[in-house]
Structure 1
């Protein structure tokens, strides 16, 4: 039942900004469809080079030549900087979804050697992973430096974020997966709906417009990016096209006065995400976050977990029994949302026997079946 491509009738942020007069470019990971009609160049991006899977000797779509030994993060940054230089005198939207720090864990040898000399600390002790992070950091620095050099930093909003938490925190959960890093004090990591899996950095830079050095306590999510960028660009959303998120454009400009108007955020994962030894990074679960409160409903047995994230960001104290009214209130919000969007429920996989499900083994299927 898993959908692996963005349906062609969906209107992307690139299509909306292109319609508003922006030059649009994407260099990096796509993961929204591999057919030619699903390529980002057909989904609103004037220029698009897709690459993921390897950090050295990588393949690009469309094919692009590059010198032997080139590191993917550097290649993508070269293309991004070139795009900025060519479009500096017009509105542009540049999306650089790095494949770093995704596996396979490969980094530039000179950076690996640099981090080998450092003492591990706080669960961070992998020099290759650190070197990959350093390459992404260099990329961000090169892009922001180019904006400064061209004198357009005060007219350009830069956003840095991630799609999920780090690959770590599993061992504490009894999950048999390698802890490449650690998300402490957050619980668990990538693939989980615990805070270690879904709480990510969101950094904004817009010289002269977004106040520097401010930490916002407002709760936002990546679904808010679309309406927020439309708000920054002064563009309307596609007619008759619902957007899931809310705009935080006004909050960016005046965080002390403008709040992000939302009642709750929701997650729904009606499946399993595996690890080793028949353990799971996540089982079927639905989540609602409202203010400081977070409720998880485990869909296998309908049990509830309630956490006060303001005082317990590590999700250690389940308050569902001591705060039953709050749990009931949040469950009602979650139920209403699932009904409104027709959220799918977990279904039995009829292609596997009970023994295979228990052992986590896949049954081989004959060709044509």
Structure 2
């Protein structure tokens, strides 16, 4: 009996040591931060010393993409590991958010919460023995059943619809006068300190730099006399970016203090492109705050400015410092990547659309992933005010250096070589019909495989709820 007890004790210690050695995961997500809104991705106006240091100490992905051109579909893809046709989350709000009745197509119904049958990455990591915490913008359902504390997170502070309307579990009061990014970072720091002796997954999705563009006065003052550069000009927006950057710095400093850096992967990214670049598209009604140049377009569009964002990974001893990778990655790739790092198996009978890119992270930046393409599906409308549109129903595919966009209203196809034409100014669809046909065929096959719903012809007599439809209400934040 004594021998059995001793063996049991040894086994318990061994299992505890194994669990403690599992890498920690920290995912910091900015809201509406554009591709060039950080210095290490090109800005000469915004100042991001901590994010830049993260890149110098890790790997920067130049071709990182979000699954959606705005907030909610990207967050659904990140949490579920699935493309939009599987989640049904295509945009923010209902199909009646914008007055599409004047358009040729009736958009697909939009799911406004992540379906309960979806197994979140937090669910999967919790099952693998991780403590899980989320502090910030959830945006995947406001009722109790969809609260992050019911979707795999042990602890959660999130907004119930409005940016500053917090529902917390456990209960936490928001101190009057404290800046939001600081409050969320305080909670994240406390979570890490309490779970430093066990593997943890920290998800820190900031509300910044989404509107309203409110920042600390002392940071705004810092940028008031600074000359604009490359379409970057707003002191308030720059100050918001600076606060997100401070948050990144605090988290990294904490890991160094607790001697957790070598066992922690830190990820920094954005949920969609920056709000800007619309003037060059002739969309004068859309109000921009930044510019994504040299990328075309901005948030709400399937051009590069809407979906290409900064991706940075830091993991001392595992990810080589100062490396750059040009292989395309997309939001759904994070789920299988996190699972591989955690040594966890994918959920049974649950399709994951992404590919783990651990081998890219631990390589020299020159690796590739074994897949044909990445995809987008947006069967709805995004307005820009005064009857103009940032986006009409469309889909897209990127394969190698090539990107094809299909616009569903008139079946127009646009083809670009992103290696030679990052700004997407030279449409090659008519010049390269074979390449266009090849990519369009892959896009059609992908939609068929995922049973992606398509918008239908808009017939006024069958529009749902038109007789009840009132003048557009103020749209919820996207």
TM-score, normalising length: structure 1: 0.93
Name the CA distance, whole Å, in 2 between partners of 1:257 and 1:286. 29
> How far does residue 52 in structure 1 lie from its aligned partner after superposition?
7.1
Call closer, same or farther: CA 1:173–1:11 in 2, change over 3 Å.
Answer: same
SS, match of residue 230 in structure 1: helix
2:409 paired with 1:303: no
* Distance apart, 1:77 and its partner CA: 0.3
Of stretches 275-284 and 142-151 in structure 1, the one that deviates more from structure 2 is 275-284
Q: Distance in 2 between matches of 1:23 and 1:351?
A: 52
Give 5+ residue unaligned stretches, structure 1: none
| Residue in 2 that maps onto 1:60 | 166
The separation in 1 between residues aligned to 2:152 and 2:196, in whole angstroms, is: 19
SS in structure 1 of the partner of residue 338 of structure 2? helix
Where structure 2 has 5 or more consecutive residues not aligned to the other structure, the ranges are: 1-108, 472-478
Cα deviation, residue 67, structure 1:
2.7
Q: Number of aligned pairs?
A: 357
1:216-227 superposed matches below 5 A: 216-227=325-336
Partner of 1:15: 123
User: Which residue in the other structure is 2:58 paired with?
Assistant: none
Find the counterpart in structure 2 of residue 282 from structure 1.
Answer: 391
Task: Tell me the alpha carbon deviations over residues 234-272 of structure 1, each in whole angstroms, 9 at most, x when there is no partner.
Answer: 110001111010000121111456432221001011111
Change (3 A) 1:206 1:109: same
Q: 1:330 aligns with which of 427, 430, 439?
A: 439
- Cα deviation for residue 97 of structure 1 reads 0.5
Instruction: Specify the SS of the correspondent of 1:169.
Output: coil
2:347 corresponds in structure 1 to: 238
Give the deviation of 1:64 after TM superposition.
2.4
Q: Which has the larger displacement, 59-68 or 228-237?
A: 59-68
Whose strand fraction is larger, Structure 1's or Structure 2's? 2
SS for the counterpart of 1:48 is strand
1:157 maps to which residue? 265
Which whole-Å CA distance do the structure 1 matches of 2:278 and 2:402 have between them?
23
Equivalent residue runs for 1:100-179 within 5 Å: 100-175=208-283, 176-179=285-288
Q: Distance in 2 between matches of 1:303 and 1:224?
A: 29
C-alpha distance in 2, partners of 1:217/1:144?
25
Give the SS at the match of 1:17: helix
Q: Distance in 2 between matches of 1:59 and 1:271?
A: 28
Q: Is contact 2:395-2:405 (8 Å) kept? A: yes
Note closer, same or farther for the CA distance 1:229–1:245 as it changes in structure 2 (3 Å cut).
Answer: same
Equivalent in 308, 314, 321 of residue 199 of structure 1: 308
Higher mean displacement: 86-95 or 254-263: 254-263
Q: Deviations over 1:8-39 (max 9, x none)?
A: 11100000000000000000001111110100
1:285-304, Cα deviation, whole Å (9 max, x unpaired) = 11010000000111001111
Moved over 6 A (4+): 52-55, 351-354
Provide, for residues 138-196 of structure 1, a one-character-per-residue CA deviation record: whole Å limited to 9, x for no partner: 00000011001100100000000011011100111111211200000100100110000
Does the aligned pair in 2 maintain the 1:53–1:104 contact within 8 Å?
A: no
SS of 1:65's equivalent? coil
- The alpha-carbon deviation at position 115 of structure 1 amounts to 1.0
Are the aligned partners of 1:54 and 1:104 in contact in 2 as well (CA < 8 Å)? no
Q: Helix, strand or coil: the match of 2:398?
A: strand
Q: Displacement of 1:349 after TM fit? A: 5.4
1:364 — aligned with what? Answer: 470
Paired residue for 2:197?
A: 89
